[in-house]
A and B are shown apart, each in its own frame.
Chain A
Amino acid sequence: MPLDPANSTQLREPGGSRKPLPPWASTAALLVPTYGWLTLAVFLPLCTMFAFSFLTATPMGKAPIVFTFKQYRAFIDQPYLLGVAWQSLLMGFWTTFFCAVLGFFAALALVRATEGKVRETLLILVLLPFWTNGLVRVFSWTMVLREGGFLDYAIHSVWPGAGSVGFLYTRQAVVVGLVHGYLPYMILTCYIALVTIDNTIVEAASSLGARWWTILWKILLPMAAPGLISGSVLIFVPVIGSFMEPRILGGRVGVTMGTVIEDQFTQAFNWPLGAALSFTMLAVVLGIFATFSGVLRRGTAL
């Protein structure tokens, strides 16, 4: 087939007819909607709220706007907040702790005792609840933990004389609900860290006479460390800000920073205080993220 270049067919869209947008303009056109939206819905609100945290009171009507730092002194002026903060940290700590222990071994079991399709299926099963409504899952626990709930019923059916063990409306109940909510996260991050471990390393170690706890302590745990750390950060941060779990499962004892902040916005209408508390919490959150940012980047890179 001799192709005759002189006879070459003409392009339908000769470039001259319609000038293409300069690259920077089309790039901007692609980006502006998204970042405009995020600015309107996230960044401007955060800035506004930051400004609010320096006001004496929620601006209403013609009342003059007065600036102050007093909202940030709340922990000194209202010492009960220190107790609440302490409870929130404890709640975050225990939730993270139980997630780490349960999640690490679950990931380990998945990596060491399953393979192929079975492992894939189990992993999906573990992660599936994570994408269901958190509220509904918290509600599920009330069915289990309440007096005369499923837990009591199960125990009574094997030991009819037992008293009620239901512990709804306790701090323990809140932690159980939170662990249930965030465990899949930890399993996933640990799994990602552990799945890269070469089986031959473990085999080599055991052929050298290492006991299983030596292998666990000296090989598996250090290698899973990035997963454990990133999982812990990703759990601790939302847990200390949670308010719906403490409200539903903790009842009257479920007072946390999250519920206190919510109250400022929905009940007390002290928006400046709520804002100041929010930003104090945000500072803690950002501090945690900054400290572990390196590990987070490695641990969550799928």
Chain B
Amino acid sequence: MKIAARFYIAAILAFLYLPILVMMAMGFNESPLYELPFSFSTRWYQALAGNAPLVNSGINSIWIAVATSIIATVLGTMASVALSRRTFRGKTLLQLMLLPPIAIPWLITGTAMLVFFFYSGIGRGLHALLIGHVALAIPYVVLVVGTGFQTVRADLEEAAMSLGSTPVHAFFSITLPLLYPSILGAALFAFAVSLDQFVISYFLATPGFSTLPVQIYSAIRKGFTPEINAISTILLVGSMAVIVIFALFAKPGGVSDKR
């Protein structure tokens, strides 16, 4: 029974990883038509360097992810402070308002942004992408930081105030250091959400300004070349790295425990 179960898990993992590994391998295959047998080459990675649209969109992606991560983390953490530590009417409603960006299919959110941004004069391009990405990332930040708040007792801030700290000083000297792993986790999460975001970017990108996933999509639709494999591999490895770092940091108390 146990052996069968382990075999089954191995099969599931193979199903999940095999295509990705095949795709990665093909990026190192000499043949432009993915012909086998395999012969190792880095020519597609070299070709990437000369592919200005891809390289530029990759740089755009990283910048947007960085900016999204910073903005969403700051705003989301602020909201999380209010939602976790203050009592006020309408709190439940505000918490529910975090769900639509997560639960509504991105296709609908993305097209709605397209329509609204077009008619409100916001338009498309970098700033539109940034507005969209931050909006998608904020709910995740609020949720991750909010979970972190549950591990930081509220009476610590009260203790600090009883010792003479203003609420602001109490937040920065007590809560923030204790919350730091969650905030860092949230920032990485927001980074990953933005870096991998395709659907919304697809509707908000312009021919002159797009992100890596959008470029990859249009490349795929034009026809397969191993260059797509190469750039995909880079994107994949990049976002996996971010997530692995996130997993290491977001463990409750993961950082603060290490002394």
Contacts and interface: CB of A to CB of B under 8 A. Distances in A.
In the complex, A touching B (Cβ < 8 A): yes
Interface stretch (B44-52, B106-114, B177-185): B106-114
Nearest to A157: B36
A237 interface: yes
A150 B12 contact: no
Nearest to A18: B166
Contacts of A135: 198, 213, 216-217, 220
Contacts of A43: 97, 100
B131 interface: yes
Contacts of A133: 195-196, 198, 213, 232, 235-236, 239
B189 to A, nearest CB: 9
A33 interface: yes
A281 B108 contact: yes
Interface of B: 1-2, 5-6, 8-9, 12-13, 15-20, 22-23, 26, 34-36, 75-76, 78-79, 81-83, 86, 88, 94, 97-98, 100-101, 103-109, 111-117, 119-120, 131-132, 134-135, 138, 142, 164, 166-167, 192, 195-196, 198-199, 203, 213, 216-217, 220-221, 224, 228-229, 232, 235-236, 239-240, 243-244, 247
Nearest to B142: A34
Contacts of B196: 131-134
Nearest to A38: B135
Which A-B residue pairs are the 6 nearest by beta carbons? A241-B105, A41-B135, A113-B5, A45-B116, A140-B23, A109-B5
B239 A132 contact: yes
Interface stretch (A46-54, A70-78, A79-87, A218-226): A46-54
Interface in A1-44: 11-13, 20, 23-24, 26-27, 30-31, 33-35, 37-38, 40-44
Contacts of A30: 78-79, 81-82, 86
A76 B2 CA distance: 54
Contact of B243 (A37, A131, A139, A289): A131
Interface in A171-226: 180, 183-184, 187, 212
A143 interface: yes
Main secondary structure of the interface of B (DSSP, over half): helix
26 contacts: A20-B166, A30-B81, A31-B83, A34-B138, A37-B135, A41-B113, A42-B101, A45-B113, A49-B112, A49-B116, A109-B6, A112-B5, A113-B1, A113-B2, A113-B9, A129-B20, A131-B243, A132-B236, A136-B236, A140-B20, A148-B34, A241-B107, A262-B111, A274-B111, A275-B112, A278-B108
A252 to B, nearest CB: 13
Contacts of A124: 247
B155 to A, nearest CB: 18
Interface in A266-299: 266, 271, 274-275, 278-279, 281-282, 285, 289
A26 B131 CA distance: 24
Nearest to B108: A278
Interface of A: 11-13, 20, 23-24, 26-27, 30-31, 33-35, 37-38, 40-46, 48-49, 52, 59, 102, 105-106, 108-110, 112-114, 122, 124-126, 128-129, 131-137, 139-144, 146, 148-150, 153, 180, 183-184, 187, 212, 237-238, 240-244, 247-248, 258, 261-262, 265-266, 271, 274-275, 278-279, 281-282, 285, 289
Contacts of B247: 124
B251 to A, nearest CB: 11
Contacts of A27: 82, 86, 88
A266 B244 CA distance: 36
A83 B88 CA distance: 49
Given A113-B6, A137-B20, A144-B18, A37 B131 contact: yes
B198 A244 contact: yes
A149 B82 CA distance: 54
A238 B108 CA distance: 10
A34 B137 CA distance: 11
A13 B164 contact: yes
Contacts of A38: 97-98, 101, 135, 138
B58 to A, nearest CB: 12
A35 B79 contact: yes
Contacts of B35: 148
